[in-house]
């Protein structure tokens, strides 16, 4: 689903009962952009930019306060995010949102990034002799001070611990996707919460990893986008293409680059960049991230390109596999995470045929449906690809029953378990002579399994039947690499669920190991009469 704030372009009425938005726009029109030529040098000339100002500052609560206290703006590269940010910061320093001795803070991941918005704001002040006379620019300190009100605008970088004690009335979080950790964000946000009527504005592109504070806030922004009544104080401004879109379609570019029709970014330059990116996968993913705001997945981290994965998605005939040798991987959970069972069958060409079974407790299902509106969990349930178990926890009897059913249908060689949560179930299966084995989730053990699975996927030898839950888990995966150079899929770094992938890696790894040890006498072309002559 491509996301855009429709209110930024339509004729809907945005209330402004106290004239705050009108005042901010009048102030913005006083400013002169130093890099703009021609008679109209206003920094915010586009209608969608002005509608954003109206939406932030217009609506009020019943007691007259500004309704919006947090803004999350996901804007692509070249949309003049810095200009918008500089105008907002100046509006709170020397403009109509100014407060006596107010603290206006522009924060970024490093000093270079922190200077970008500050330099643009300072240049706009220098462009007007009246503003320059009313302020003191301390360039070496990244600070603008308004003499009369003593309000201060300062640009800082990510020394989070050093920022405790500040009580800002306005916080700009610039390119939040590259911030490391939560220290700076927590320091500034808790400080702003001490100031009545403070405003926090995040202006960012999508990130290279779907993790961290920026992605967490993006997920919340998604929920507020789909349900505006959830939190009227949180304003999502999301320009994002669908992850499965045709990224070369210029209509998609137009939809998520609100300034493209007006020349920012430059269309010819975008076309040139796309031509190169079409040939180079890493540049392609970067194009999607920066120009279409598509969060990058595990394929960028060196794991799997999903287009390659999808090539082996043909339907699997499970009835034809009845009685065939089978290796099973099980990744158990208790509450919020998926539980996954993946059955793997070797084929004569050295590849794998895969059947996937996924389970969620009902409570976790409802919570995930709410938190992940773009993940079609309900559709998967209705299609039978996701089994919902009543209650708050995974019922071990349901999982064990499914494993016993698979053992009745197939010639199960091993049932490989992540030992966490599995001890009692394994004991019961072993007691009944079923081949349960333990596979510890350590890089030295799982690394070769993930490596083999990766090779099988790239070689189109991993025939997964297009199971959507398994695909989702593969797409969520982010690998880390140890001294051996082998990949290990980290649950901490990966986006959302990877449980079915973990089960698939265990099953594939055990099947591959067993396949490599098969005797010549097990081959389909073995002739038992051959040995009579000897």
| Sequence-ordered list of residues with C-beta below 8 angstroms from that of 166, at least 6 positions apart, any chain | 103, 105, 187, 188, 191
Token pair 């990130």 in the structure block, residue: 207
d(CA 353, CA 463): 5
Q: Are 76 and 239 in contact (CB under 8 A)?
A: yes
The CA distances from residue 489 to 304, 399, 422, in Å, are: 12, 24, 20
Q: Are 167 and 192 in contact (CB under 8 A)?
A: yes
Extract the tokens encoding 311: 């090539």
d(CA 479, CA 429): 32
Cα 506 versus chain centre, distance? 26
Q: Are 512 and 452 in contact (CB under 8 A)?
A: yes
Length of the chain: 534
Terminal C-alpha separation, the chain: 68
Q: Are 453 and 511 in contact (CB under 8 A)?
A: no
d(CA 47, CA 49): 5
Residue 317 DSSP SS3 = coil
d(CA 373, CA 368): 8
pLDDT at 42: 95
Enumerate the H helices of 79-178 as residue ranges: 81-93, 111-126, 129-134
Extract the tokens encoding 420: 């966490």
d(CA 526, CA 469): 39
Instruction: Classify the phi-psi angles of 172: left when phi > 0, otherwise alpha if psi is within -120 to 50, otherwise beta.
Output: beta
Which H or E element spans position 458? helix 443-458
Q: What is the DSSP string of 486-520?
A: -EEE-TTTSSS--HHHHHHHHHHHHHHHHHHT--G
Q: What is the DSSP string of 213-259?
A: HHHHHHHHHHHHHH-TTS-TTEEEEE-B--TTS-TT-HHHHHHH-TT
The CATH classification number of 67-238 equals 3.40.50.300
| Sequence-ordered list of residues with C-beta below 8 angstroms from that of 213, at least 6 positions apart, any chain | 176, 179, 181, 182, 185
Classified by CATH at the fold level, domain 308-516 comes out as: Nucleotidyltransferase; domain 5 (3.30.420)
Q: Are 328 and 415 in contact (CB under 8 A)?
A: yes
Domain limits, the chain = 67-238, 250-297, 308-516
CA dihedral over 88, 91, 97, 98, signed as positive or negative: positive
Extract the tokens encoding 340: 């996954």
d(CA 472, CA 493): 15
Cα 420 versus chain centre, distance? 27
Mean pLDDT by 10 residues, the chain (534 residues): 94 96 97 86 95 98 94 96 94 95 90 85 94 91 91 80 70 90 84 91 89 89 94 97 92 96 94 86 83 74 75 93 96 85 91 96 90 87 95 91 96 92 92 93 88 89 95 86 73 78 95 64 44 34
Q: Are 198 and 192 in contact (CB under 8 A)?
A: yes
pLDDT at 185: 87
Nearest Cα residue to 238 out of 256, 259, 252: 256
CA dihedral over 501, 504, 510, 516, signed as positive or negative: negative
Token pair 């879109």 in the structure block, residue: 245
d(CA 212, CA 218): 10
Count of CB atoms situated within 10 Å of the CB of 244? 9
d(CA 368, CA 359): 13
Rg (CA), the chain: 28
């Amino acid at each position: 689903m491509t996301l855009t704030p429709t209110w930024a372009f339509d004729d809907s009425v945005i209330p402004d009962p106290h004239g705050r938005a009108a005042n901010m726009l009048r102030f913005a029109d006083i400013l002169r952009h130093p890099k703009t030529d021609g008679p109209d040098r206003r920094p915010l000339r586009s209608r969608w930019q002005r509608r954003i100002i109206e939406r932030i500052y217009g609506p009020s609560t019943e007691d007259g306060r500004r309704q919006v206290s947090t803004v999350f703006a996901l804007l692509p590269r070249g949309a003049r995010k810095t200009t918008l940010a500089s105008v907002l910061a100046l509006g709170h320093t020397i403009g109509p949102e100014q407060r006596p001795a107010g603290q206006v803070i522009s924060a970024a991941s490093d000093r270079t990034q922190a200077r970008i918005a500050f330099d643009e704001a300072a240049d706009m002040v220098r462009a007007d002799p009246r503003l320059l006379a009313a302020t003191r620019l301390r360039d070496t300190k990244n600070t603008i001070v308004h003499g009369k009100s003593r309000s201060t605008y300062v640009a800082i970088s990510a020394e989070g611990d050093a920022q405790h004690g500040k009580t800002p009335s306005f916080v700009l979080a610039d390119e939040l996707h590259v911030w490391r950790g939560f220290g700076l964000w927590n320091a500034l946000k808790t400080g702003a919460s001490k100031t009545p009527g403070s405003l926090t504005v995040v202006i960012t592109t999508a990130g290279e990893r779907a993790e961290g504070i920026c992605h967490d806030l993006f997920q919340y922004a998604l929920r507020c986008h789909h349900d505006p009544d959830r939190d009227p104080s949180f304003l999502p401004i999301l320009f994002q293409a669908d992850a499965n879109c045709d990224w070369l379609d210029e209509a998609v570019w137009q939809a998520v680059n609100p300034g493209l029709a007006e020349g920012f970014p430059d269309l010819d330059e975008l076309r040139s960049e796309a031509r190169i990116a079409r040939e180079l996968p890493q540049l392609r993913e970067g194009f999607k991230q920066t120009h279409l705001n598509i969060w990058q997945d595990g394929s960028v981290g060196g794991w799997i390109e999903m287009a390659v994965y999808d090539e082996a998605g043909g339907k699997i005939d499970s009835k034809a596999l009845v009685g065939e040798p089978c290796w099973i991987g099980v990744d158990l959970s208790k509450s919020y995470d998926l539980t996954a069972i993946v059955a793997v069958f070797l084929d004569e060409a050295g590849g794998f045929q895969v059947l996937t079974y996924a389970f969620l407790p009902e409570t976790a299902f409802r919570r995930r449906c709410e938190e992940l509106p773009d993940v079609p969990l309900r559709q998967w349930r209705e299609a039978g690809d996701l089994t919902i178990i009543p209650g708050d926890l995974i019922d071990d009897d349901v999982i064990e029953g499914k494993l016993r059913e698979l053992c009745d249908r197939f010639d199960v060689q091993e049932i490989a378990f992540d030992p966490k949560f599995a001890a009692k179930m394994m004991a019961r299966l072993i007691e009944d002579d079923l081949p349960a084995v333990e596979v510890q989730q350590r890089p030295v053990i799982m690394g070769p399994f993930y490596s083999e699975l990766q090779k099988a996927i790239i070689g189109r030898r991993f025939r997964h039947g297009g199971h959507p839950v398994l695909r989702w888990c593969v797409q969520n995966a982010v690998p880390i690499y140890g001294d051996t150079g082998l990949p290990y899929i980290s649950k901490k770094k990966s986006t959302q669920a990877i449980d079915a992938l973990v089960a698939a890696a265990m099953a594939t790894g055990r099947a591959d190991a067993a396949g490599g040890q098969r005797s010549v006498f097990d081959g389909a072309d073995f002739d038992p009469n051959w040995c009579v002559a000897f």
